[in-house]
Every structure is written in structure tokens, then in C-alpha cells.
Structure 1
Amino acid sequence: MLIRRTLRMITVLTATCAVALTGAVASGVGTAQADQAQASSQKQLLFYNHAYSVVDRETADAIENSAYLREFANFEVRTTTGGGMTWKGRYLKGRETYIELFSEGDLPGQDALYGSAGLGVSTERSGDLAKVTANLADLGISDPAKYRQTRDFGDGVPVPWFDTIRTTSEQYEHFDPWAMEYFPEYFADPRSQTEPESYPGDVSRERYLPDAYADHQMRDVTSIRMGVTARDLANTIPLLQAGGFEVTKVGGGVIAMGGGTTITLDSVERAKAGLKQVTFSLNQAAAAKHEERIGRSTLTVGPGAQAVWNFDAPQ
């Protein structure tokens, strides 16, 4: 999903808060923890939805043809049409989050280059994107770039898919960060194959993604690390702050925490940009460590309930 290529817990977090509240009352701690948890839930408006990156062709081909990945995750190679554009992505989909990978040359223009990448953070409740927009104004960004994405299921009739905002309408150098909110109309279309709402205004990631993750090891993306240029990083930070992420500067980059996924963005030169590492939670702990070499990347699963996927630095 790119600004030029017409793109592409509050439920979980609220449940976690409810559990924390019950435990606090039962143990006689009082309501302070519950109040704090409630405030945290209200503050977090945006959550990691997915990220994409262009990897080298050798790695992309190995990913696309990997029998192991098809066992490890709800894995799909899909061609999508939306907003007048068509793209092929390689997807690893979890309960609420996913990762999308392209090969060099898959996308048009500068986005075809190795290391091009993007980050989508989304709301869980209809109307929260407007709150993010208001928060951006408080940060000095009063006129964010807005875009409405549609999807074509093959009949030539575009269906409203999601709205997006970005901190700037200027062309990014290689990294495209955006906030998004799914349309209720998309969920209402039976061709979307999505779940019924769990609460009024439910436009959540869990509702959007299928439950096939439960048949595989991978559950969700728990952290992602990318190299981005200084200008792209500067355009990303306000979006994360407006969405409620706790953003901490580390060296020349930042670590953004909130909503269950840690986002690390290293400030690098364009030649070193792109995906570095993804970590996943697992549905069940792995008894032993397994390493799978996939092109110029290594996926290490276990021991325990975590997997780490490292991508080799450019040579």
C-alpha cells in the first residue's frame, strides 16, 4: 500500500483491561489499576495493522515457494485490485496483524526498488480516525493528506475499503506510513468474507482477518524493525504519537510501543533501508528450536512461543 500506488485491540486491549480490573478488585488492590488501564485503552487509537517491504528477488521467490511458510502461517500469495491498480503480495496473516512482502520490480516507479516499505496502523472503532486527525492538528499538522481506498472483487464495481490519512502529501523517499480505518460497507459485503461485529462500530483488525491463523503456528506480529531515511522517519513520528503510541528516540531512530506490537524504525541511508526483522507470537510454544533459511533470510521458530525472522543486510 503506497500513497502513489492507490493502496492498499481495542477489542483485545479492552478484554485485557477487564481481566486486570477483575484481578485488582479480587486482590483488594482497589480501582487505581483499573482506572489506569481504562485510560490506556482510550488513549490508544491506532494499532499496528500490517507492514510491507520490497525484498530481493531471490528471497521473494523463496518466500513464495516455501512449503515451510505454508505450514508455519496462514500464508497466501494474492493478486489484489484496488483504486485502479493491481498488485501481487505474499502475505503471512495472524489473528490481528500481518506482513506483506514484494519482490523487486513488483510495484511501479520508485516503489519497485529493494528496501521500499510501508507501515499501516489502523483504528479498531469507527470514528477513531477523526480523533487521530484532531490529535495531529494538536501536533501542528492541521491538513493531513487524505485518501479513500476501494477494492474490486472482480466484477468491476469498486467497494469502499478504507480511509487513510498521512502527515504529508509530499512523495516519501522510500517509506510510506499511513493510518487507516475500514469501512462498515466493506464488512457488510459478503465477498469480503469477514466476521460480524463484536461491538457497535467494530472495524477491528481481528474482524477483518480470517481465523485460519488458528490452524498454524504463527499467531501475530509482536515486533517489526525497519530502516528508514531521516525524512521519512520525521513524517512517521507524529502519526504514531497521534495514534497513542509511546514513541522513544533511540540513537537516530525511534521505538514505538502500544497495542501489542513494538515498531522499531532505524534512521539509515536509503541504500540500507527496508525490512530487518519481524517477531511473531505462536499459538503454542515450540519445544525445540527450528531454523529455516528462506532466500537471504532466516526464520527461527522456538524454543518457546516466539519466532524471529531476520533479513540479511544489503551487500
Structure 2
Amino acid sequence: MCKRGVSRTLMAITVAVPLLVAGVADGQAESGQRSSGGLLHYNHAYGVLDRDTAHAIEHSDYLRRFANFELRTTTGADGATWTGRYLLGRETYLELFAEGDLPGQDGRAGAGGMGLSTECADDLPEVTAELRDEGVADPIEFSQTRDFGDGDPVPWFDSLLTTQRYDAFGVWAMEYRPEYFADPRSRTEPPDHPGDVGRERYLSDDYRGHVMRDVTGIRIAVTAGDLANTVPLLRAGDFAVRHRPDGGVTARGSGTTIRFDVVPLHQTGLREVEMSLNHPVWERHEERIGRSTLVVGPFARAVWTFAGPHDTP
């Protein structure tokens, strides 16, 4: 059986005191939710960048040494395709697009999204129930397939949305399908235990040959409406959610901190990504990549900052 650890009752007891302490500096805690071992976990986020920055990322020799880097075209449901620039870690990853790579509003510079995934098979219905408790009466369910290029798609993951209407940022819950793991084309790892549909199993171990290990923090500028659509899913997934005095939200869960800043639509976008490293780097290295700056070290930490669509680089 796939177990997440402590029960929700025990979770509320064990986390209540730390949340009260953190709330003094970071805003009022919404609920006594645990910061790890919950229903949902940060899986990946994507951001749409200006074309010059995306081009610099795509052709950066340094990034290929720093991370398990891929330029990959994926074919999903109904033949839809997208080409992304991927930094792949042990359990988490980052997906980057150039302006115009995606259709419609999703291809605008400053657009983005985030997937939160289960680690245990059949947890997604519980997320649905929790969403209804959070006031989302009719969560939107859909399934995604993946075509590996041979015209024979395989079920990939099931997903939940709080809404199909958004300004520039969308969030979804997802659970990988057992058929995907069973397909040899997926090149995934065997389960660690019954019901294992986790992130570490989905991603390869190629990260070990690079510096980057995982995404541990991400900062995204979103509209107030998009943030309102995001918070119920975070809470349903057991993230510790705090509203900050500046109007933004900070959510923590499973070793990843997600910070949302509220801005007008024309200022939305990916702002910062923090990553853990496989080993300490004792000297600080700064790499300018288009309109972004990646700082690696000192110690086992890297921070990648991105200029906004209208910022001066």
C-alpha cells in the first residue's frame, strides 16, 4: 500500500505551532497544513520568455553542464505538440518556452503554469473531494496522452483544474497513469512500493551527472484572479498556504516553496527559481543567459532570476 505518512489529524497537531511562528513574519496562516507528505507535490512549472532569452537558454553550453538539459518536442492529446527547454532534476523540473511557442494566450510572454502531482495511485479522487470542501463545486477532470512519435499514444496522466478560464497562469493537479509506467517507451523506473506513481520514478537518474538536483523554490508574478483560482488547489493538496501583507501568497510543501506576487496582467511571469545542487560549489559563479541571470553557489544552492517583460535587463 502507498502511504503518505501521518494522518491529517496528526498533521494538524504537529504543524500548528511552526505555522504560528512563521505567520509572525510571513502573514497569517490559513490552515494547519503540513509542509511535506501531503496529497500533492510540486512537479514542474513552466514559463514563457522573450525569444532572445529562450534562444540563449536553448544554446547555452553552461546549462547543459549545470543540469540534465533537454530540448524536446512532445505530442499530447488530439495531436497537439509543444517544444520546451527542460531542466530535469531528481523529482522536479522546469519547462521554458519562447514567446509564440504555444498557441493563443498561453504563448504570450509572461504566461505560465504549474503542475502539482500525487505520489500514490488513486489519490486524485481525494484531491477532488478536498477541492469541493474548498468551495470548488465542479472541478474539471481530463486525461492526457503522450505520443512517442510512432503514432501509438499511451495514457499519460489524469488531471484536475479549478477553472478553464485564466488570465496568464494556470495550475492543475495530476496523477501519472500506470499504463505510462508500464510502457517501455517511457523509460521510467520500477516502483519502490505498490501504488508508486511518484515524481522520482517518472524522471531519470541522469541528473546525477550534473550540478542541479531539484527545484526547491519558485517565484511567479500572477494576477489576483489567477491567484484566487490557484489557492484552493494548493490547500486541497496539503500545502501550507499563507497570505502575505503585500497581497501575495507563499505556499510550502514537500521541500518546495512557491511564492506568488500579485501584479497587473502586463507584468506577469516567471521571476525566480531556486535549486538545490548535488554537491556544494565553493566559489560563486554568475552566468548571464539572455535577460536572465543564473547564480550557482556558494554551497549547495543556485538561484536563477528572470527579468519581467517590461523590465530593463
User: What TM-score, normalized by structure 2, do the two folds share?
Assistant: 0.88
Counterpart selection for 1:212 from 198, 203, 206: 206
Residue 195 (structure 1) aligns with: 189
Give 3-state SS (helix, strand or coil) of 2:55's partner.
Answer: helix
Is residue 288 of structure 1 aligned with residue 283 of structure 2? yes
Residue 134 (structure 1) aligns with: 129
CA drift at 1:43: 6.2
Give 3-state SS (helix, strand or coil) of 2:166's partner.
Answer: coil
Q: Pick closer, same or farther for the CA change 1:133–1:68 going to 2, 3 Å.
A: same
Q: How does 1:136-285 map to 2 (within 5 A)?
A: 136-169=131-164, 171-250=165-244, 251-285=246-280
Give 3-state SS (helix, strand or coil) of 2:193's partner.
Answer: coil
Structure 2 spans left out of the alignment, 5+ residues: 16-32
On the 8 A contact 2:34/2:240 being kept in 1, the answer is no
On the 8 A contact 2:38/2:238 being kept in 1, the answer is yes
Q: How does 1:57-76 map to 2 (within 5 A)?
A: 57-76=51-70
Residue 119 (structure 1) aligns with: 114
Is residue 297 of structure 1 aligned with residue 292 of structure 2? yes
List structure 1 runs of 4+ shifted beyond 3 angstroms: 39-43
Counterpart selection for 1:89 from 81, 84, 91: 84
Provide the C-alpha distance between the structure 2 equivalents of 1:178 and 1:252, rounded to a whole number of angstroms: 22
Provide the C-alpha distance between the structure 1 equivalents of 2:227 and 2:273, rounded to a whole number of angstroms: 19
On the 8 A contact 2:115/2:174 being kept in 1, the answer is yes
Give 3-state SS (helix, strand or coil) of 1:165's partner.
Answer: strand
| Count of aligned positions | 286
Amino acid at match of 1:284: H
Provide the C-alpha distance between the structure 2 equivalents of 1:113 and 1:308, rounded to a whole number of angstroms: 24
Q: How does 1:19-34 map to 2 (within 5 A)?
A: none
Show CA shifts across 1:200-243 (max 9, x none): 11000000000000100000000000000111110000000000
Amino acid at match of 1:160: P
Residue 311 (structure 1) aligns with: 306
Show CA shifts across 1:245-270 (max 9, x none): 01101121100001110000111111
Amino acid at match of 1:186: Y
CA drift at 1:123: 0.3
Give 3-state SS (helix, strand or coil) of 2:283's partner.
Answer: coil
Q: How does 1:101-116 map to 2 (within 5 A)?
A: 101-116=96-111
Amino acid at match of 1:214: R
Counterpart selection for 1:44 from 35, 38, 41: 38
Show CA shifts across 1:4-51 (max 9, x none): xxxxxx99x86xx9xxxxxxxxxxxxxx99x949x9489610000000
Q: After the TM superposition, which of the residue ranges 287-296 and 154-163 deviates more from structure 2?
A: 154-163
Percent identity, aligned pairs only, is 61
User: What TM-score, normalized by structure 1, do the two folds share?
Assistant: 0.87
Show CA shifts across 1:170-192 (max 9, x none): x2111010000000110000000
Amino acid at match of 1:108: P
Structure 1 spans left out of the alignment, 5+ residues: 1-9, 18-31
Show CA shifts across 1:37-96 (max 9, x none): 9x9489610000000010010100000000000000000000000112011000000000
